[in-house]
Amino acid sequence: MTNPFHEPLTADNAALLLVDHQIGLFTGVRDISVGELTHNVTCLAKAALRLNLPVVVTTTAADSMWGPLIPELRAALPEELEIIDRSTVNAWHDDRVRSAIRATGRDKILIAGVSLEVCAAFPAIAAAAEGYGAYVAVDASGTFSTTKRETGLLRLQQAGVIVSDYASLAVEILADNAHPLARDLYADLDMPFATLVGQLAAAHGR
């Protein structure tokens, strides 16, 4: 049986699902600083759009319990992008979310969510069970304690979901640093060392 994770991520086979990066939930995040989490998920969204990946975004009870998306992420997304607000704990159990993913025609899903062990893990495990290649960007997700983070990561790995950092997923899709999008993509990822090297190369006419 072929392992779906042996096939690399590409701009043609991957889509991004962002789950519940909401103001109210961010107030409880303890395993990563709120500033770093905001930076990482916003960079991930920008990189996905740069690479032309379909992006599906969902919230839970945005008008009551958890509030709207964090403003930095909302600003990075196209104005016309519909945010799917749902009530189900597992985003995969919402027909609109599942239909939006299926409509992309992609068989690999990059997922980030708050919290990691629920909002990212539950749809990732459900997608993997349906045959998708599921990847969770751990540093673009957050949760409420170290224990929740550790047990969430264990459960993801037990279910066959790939865990990664956000930048590695984007760079795998880029594949070639000679690609015309490379410089802009690294800027989207906000990797200062890459930006500095690019500036030095430009200064020396390379």
3-class state of residue 59 by DSSP: strand
CB 156 within 8 A of CB 115: no
Among the listed residues 43, 73, 97, 119, the single catalytic one is 119
Task: Note if 43 is an active site residue.
Answer: no
Outline where DSSP puts E strands in 69-185: 83-86, 108-113, 133-137, 162-164
Q: Where are the alpha helices (DSSP H) in the chain?
A: 23-26, 34-50, 71-76, 95-104, 121-129, 146-158, 166-174, 182-189, 192-203
Q: C-alpha dihedral over 125, 129, 133, 137, to 10 degrees?
A: 0
Instruction: In whole angstroms, give the CA distance from residue 58 to residue 85.
Output: 6
Q: Look-up: residue for tokens 């990212």?
A: 120
Q: Please give the positions annotated as active site.
A: 119
